[in-house]
A and B are shown apart, each in its own frame.
Chain A
Amino acid sequence: MPDSNPNTVTVPQAAVPSRPRVSWLRGNAQILAALGALVLLFLFNALFTPHFLSVQTLNVNLTQVATIVIVAVGMTLVIASGGIDLSVGALMAISGALAPMLFLHPPFGSPALGILLAFTVPVLVAGVFGLFNGTLVTRFGIQPFIATLILFIAGRGIAQVMTNGQLQTFSNTTFQYIGLGRPFGIPFQVILMLVIVALFAWIMARTVFGRYVLAVGGNERAAGLAGVPVRRVKLLVYGISGLLAGIAGLIVIAINSSSDANQVGLNMELDAIAAVAVGGTALTGGRATIIGTLLGALIIQLIRFTLLAKGVPDAAALVVKAAIILLAVYVQRQQH
Chain B
Amino acid sequence: MSLLNSPADLAQDRRARVASVLQRYGVLVALALLLLFGALRYPGFLSAYNVFTVLGYNSMFGLIALGMTFVIITGGIDLSVGSVAAFASVVGALLSPHGLWPALLGAVAAATLLGLINGLLIAYARILPFITTLAMLLAARGLALLFAGNQSVSVDYDHGFTALGQGNLGGVPYTAILLGVAYIVGALVLRSTPFGRHVLAVGGNEEAARLMGLNVERVKVLVYTLSGAMAGLAGVILASQFGAGQPTEGLGWELTAIAAVVVGGTLLTGGLGSVGSTLVGVLLLGIIFNILNFENGRGTISLSAYWQSVIRGAFLLLVVVLQNQLTQRGGRRT
Contact = CB atoms under 8 A, between A and B. Distances in A.
B125 interface: yes
Contact of A165 (B255, B304, B324): B304
A313 interface: yes
B69 interface: no
Contacts of A149: 255, 258-259, 262, 316
A30 B132 CA distance: 20
B105 to A, nearest CB: 24
B308 interface: yes
B131 A277 contact: yes
A161 B262 CA distance: 26
Contacts of B325: 140
B131 A329 contact: yes
A315 B138 contact: no
A41 interface: no
Nearest to A147: B320
Contacts, number: 137
Given A283-B130, A315-B150, A329-B128, A142 B321 contact: yes
B26 to A, nearest CB: 16
Contacts of B313: 150-155, 157
A315 B145 contact: yes
Interface string A83-115: 010100000000000000000000000000000
Interface string A318-336: 1101110110011001000
A84 to B, nearest CB: 8
Given A140-B321, A149-B258, A315 B307 contact: no
Interface string B266-307: 001100000000000000000000000000000000001011
Contacts of B258: 146, 149
A153 B259 contact: yes
Contacts of B251: 266-267
A154 B309 contact: yes
Contacts of B126: 333
B330 to A, nearest CB: 14
B146 to A, nearest CB: 5
Given A157-B306, A318-B145, 18 more contacts: A84-B130, A86-B255, A140-B324, A147-B320, A153-B252, A154-B310, A154-B312, A154-B314, A161-B304, A164-B304, A267-B251, A270-B138, A273-B134, A283-B128, A283-B131, A314-B145, A319-B138, A333-B126
Contacts of B146: 313, 315-316, 319
Nearest to B316: A150
Contacts of B128: 283-284, 329
A322 B304 contact: no
B131 A325 contact: yes
Contacts of B309: 153-154, 156-157, 160
Interface in A54-93: 84, 86
B321 A161 contact: no
A165 B320 contact: no
B328 A322 contact: no
Interface string A120-159: 0000000000000000100011110111011111111110
A266 B56 CA distance: 28
A222 B143 CA distance: 45
A195 B131 CA distance: 29
A193 interface: no
Interface string B111-128: 000000000010001111
A216 to B, nearest CB: 19
B119 to A, nearest CB: 14
B55 interface: no
Interface of B: 77, 121, 125-128, 130-132, 134-139, 141-146, 150, 251-252, 255-256, 258-259, 262, 268-269, 304, 306-310, 312-314, 316-317, 320-321, 324-325, 328
Most buried by A among B307, B308, B317, B325: B317
B255 A152 contact: yes
A84 B77 CA distance: 14
Contacts of A146: 258, 262, 268, 316, 320
A322 B139 contact: yes
A160 B310 CA distance: 9
22 contacts: A86-B255, A142-B321, A152-B252, A153-B252, A153-B309, A154-B310, A154-B312, A154-B313, A157-B309, A161-B310, A165-B304, A283-B128, A283-B130, A284-B128, A315-B142, A317-B142, A318-B138, A321-B142, A322-B135, A322-B137, A322-B142, A323-B139
A274 interface: yes
A283 B316 CA distance: 25
Interface in A265-283: 266-267, 270, 273-274, 277, 283
Contact of A318 (B142, B304, B320): B142
Contacts of B150: 313, 315
B328 A270 contact: no
B313 to A, nearest CB: 2
A86 B259 CA distance: 13
Interface string A283-323: 11000000000000000000000000000011111110111
